[in-house]
Amino acid sequence: MEPVPTLDVFILTFNAAKRQINIPVFARHIYNAFGQNASTLPELVVISLQEMAPLAQAFIGSYILNPYFQRYESAINLAAAKFAAEEERQHRPKGRPYKLVTTRNVGMTGIMLFARESAAVHNLQVAEVGFGAGDMANKGAAGLRMLYRKENADGTLSTSTELTFVSAHLAAMEWNLDKRNKNWESIVSGLVFEDPKKFTERSSMQTSTLPANEDSEAEVALLEQDSNEKALHEISIYKPSSHLFVCGDLNYRLSKISPASDSTFPDVDPESPNHFARFLARDQLTAEKNAGRTLHGLSEASINFPPTYKLVLSPKAKPQAQLGRIGDDESEENDMDDVEWSWALHRWPGWCDRVLFLDIPWWARESAGGTKMRVTAYDAIPAVRSSDHRAVFLRLEVPMLEPDSLLPTESAYERELSADWHEPVDPRIQLPFPIDFQSWEHRSHVKKWESTIGWSMLISQSKQGIMVLVTVFLIGLGTWWYRSR
């Protein structure tokens, strides 16, 4: 059997702490990440962002968020251009190595998709869900789904595969463990790529045309129910024919209570008895996932980096030559120092920033020579001055399996749903939570409030905005008084 071709995918998640990134610094770290265990640029790059902008701008969205997205686009292409130049041993190539295919945000949570060959991306779909205060998107998740096609040298189709990416920001604080699990339930039930309500309407229409014979009616009803369940499964994040990747600030910590004044914190020294590897046994995400309460069916590469939150950054040292000079040390080009950091003592450090994936199911591996996802790097980039999180990246080779080859077989359904099956049921066969039929309608309603709140916040935060608001009010008051005379 010939080896299955693969797709080189790079996924990075970063909580930006509502601030814009320093482009040269971020590009330097991305460049180093591209080179970790690899000599070529990835074919696809996905950037997952949390707290990507202040709440007002995030709720308004659209063009107001463009300056934030654009800085990541610049950093990615700056890093890629340098990498490509060294790879080809020539001057930096003209143009941008990556095409920004799309961006999407739900409140402060964003996702960006870059491709070396943008023409290979087809059938792009988007989805979103909010689960913050009042179901608004101060916390939430954004999703992308696409078909990626590779062609032969003569332009004929070689192979294609389907991919789903979810960028999420779950509830914060140590004690909110149950709420984080509930947020995950909201993602499974509400982050859907088509309006689920149309399936209930279709079911109602079909029921009204059922035959009069009771036996036939019951049989057809069961068939329609099974058909609808499969259709709903296909619009969920666990679409059986698609690869799935979930990333973000998932906010799982080491404890449900805050640390005491004498608590022992993880150490980065490998010789220390308190080395951070010893604290992995207390990781909430691993425990909750193993208990079947969150991130159902997803896999994660080995964690060999310290907790990524919450960092306290050491003040930047000013070079002697710049002392007394105003502004020089604030420029982006000069801000290339390596940041020293320590743990914030009022929070347990946590592996909050994670990237997980759904591995190839057993029924597809059997027919594809045992192929699996192959992780080539899973690490955290160095700390940057704009955030109290470290970004985390995963690079892996994704088998280019045709969507139909990932579908569960009849024997797979029978085996996993039988009484003799003692493992958790694969979520591609049975969803861990039912689909919320009101999800699209509810999200559309809440989104209108977010826009109104965003503009109100933005206006109230600026002197010019307040002046405009007062002027409009006075003009309106004057017009009313003039007409009422």
**What mean pLDDT is predicted for residues 17-25?**
96
**What's the pLDDT band for 170 if we cut at 50, 70, 90?**
very high
Across the strands, what pairs with 12?
47, 393
- Do 79 and 216 belong to one domain? no
Based on the structure, what is the number of domains in the chain? 3
- Do 341 and 431 belong to one domain? yes
Cβ atoms within 10 A of the Cβ of 14, count?
A: 29
Instruction: Please check whether residue 222 lies inside any domain of the structure.
Output: yes
**What's the pLDDT band for 218 if we cut at 50, 70, 90?**
low
Tokens of 147: 């078909």
Cβ contact 403:419 at 8 Å: no
- Do 247 and 393 belong to one domain? yes
- Do 18 and 131 belong to one domain? yes
Instruction: Please check whether residue 226 lies inside any domain of the structure.
Output: yes
**What mean pLDDT is predicted for residues 404-428?**
93
- Do 430 and 450 belong to one domain? no
Mean pLDDT of the chain: 87
Q: How far is C-alpha 389 from the chain's CA centre?
A: 15
Instruction: Please check whether residue 64 lies inside any domain of the structure.
Output: yes
Among the ranges given (55-59, 134-138, 226-230), the one the predictor scored with the smallest mean pLDDT: 226-230
Cβ contact 361:426 at 8 Å: yes
**What's the pLDDT band for 94 if we cut at 50, 70, 90?**
low
Does residue 454 register a pLDDT over 90? no
Instruction: Please check whether residue 424 lies inside any domain of the structure.
Output: yes
> Does an H or E element contain 48, and which?
strand 44-50
Rg of the chain (C-alpha set): 25
Instruction: Please check whether residue 379 lies inside any domain of the structure.
Output: yes
Does residue 329 register a pLDDT over 70? no
- Find tokens 């990747």 and name the residue: 245
Instruction: Please check whether residue 1 lies inside any domain of the structure.
Output: no
**What's the pLDDT band for 383 if we cut at 50, 70, 90?**
very high
**What's the pLDDT band for 483 if we cut at 50, 70, 90?**
low
Bigger pLDDT: 172 vs 206: 172
**DSSP-derived 3-state class of residue 112:** strand
Does residue 442 register a pLDDT over 50? yes
Among the ranges given (87-91, 381-385, 409-413, 455-459), the one the predictor scored with the smallest mean pLDDT: 87-91
Bigger pLDDT: 124 vs 205: 124
Whole-angstrom Cα distance, residue 240 to residue 401? 12
Nearest to 80 by CA among 99, 100, 97, 101: 97
> Does an H or E element contain 184, and which?
helix 177-190
Whole-angstrom Cα distance, residue 284 to residue 272? 23
Q: What does DSSP say about strands 157-169 and 243-249: parallel, antiparallel, or unpaired?
A: parallel
The last residue of a domain, from among 235, 253, 287: 235
The residue range of the domain holding 228 is 200-235
pLDDT given at position 468: 46
- Do 183 and 206 belong to one domain? no
Instruction: Please check whether residue 86 lies inside any domain of the structure.
Output: yes
Does residue 322 register a pLDDT over 80? no
Whole-angstrom Cα distance, residue 18 to residue 65? 11
Does residue 479 register a pLDDT over 80? no
- Do 176 and 37 belong to one domain? yes
266-303 per-position pLDDT tens digit:
999 999 999 999 999 999 999 999 999 999 999 999 99
- Do 268 and 132 belong to one domain? yes
Instruction: Please check whether residue 256 lies inside any domain of the structure.
Output: yes
* pTM for this prediction: 0.89
- Do 274 and 391 belong to one domain? yes
The last residue of a domain, from among 182, 216, 235: 235
Does residue 34 register a pLDDT over 60? yes
Nearest to 162 by CA among 105, 118, 122: 122
**What mean pLDDT is predicted for residues 236-257?**
97
CATH classification of the domain holding 251: 3.60.10.10
Tokens of 248: 């973000």
**What's the pLDDT band for 217 if we cut at 50, 70, 90?**
low
Bigger pLDDT: 36 vs 476: 36
- Do 213 and 358 belong to one domain? no
pLDDT given at position 302: 97
173-206 per-position pLDDT tens digit:
999 999 999 999 999 999 999 999 988 766 555 5
**DSSP-derived 3-state class of residue 345:** coil
User: What percent of the chain stands above pLDDT 90?
Assistant: 68
**What's the pLDDT band for 36 if we cut at 50, 70, 90?**
very high
pLDDT given at position 318: 65
pLDDT given at position 7: 97
52-84 per-position pLDDT tens digit:
999 988 888 888 899 999 999 999 999 999 998
Does residue 145 register a pLDDT over 90? yes
Q: Tell me whether the omega of the peptide bond preceding residue 448 falls within 30 degrees of 0, making it cis.
A: no
pLDDT given at position 316: 76
- Do 367 and 472 belong to one domain? no
**What mean pLDDT is predicted for residues 477-483?**
57
Q: Residue-wise over 128-141: b if at least 16 C-beta within 10 A, else e?
A: bbbbbeebbbbbbb
Does residue 250 register a pLDDT over 90? yes
Cβ contact 422:415 at 8 Å: no
115 DSSP assignment: E
- Do 341 and 412 belong to one domain? yes
Tokens of 377: 């790097």
Does residue 39 register a pLDDT over 60? yes
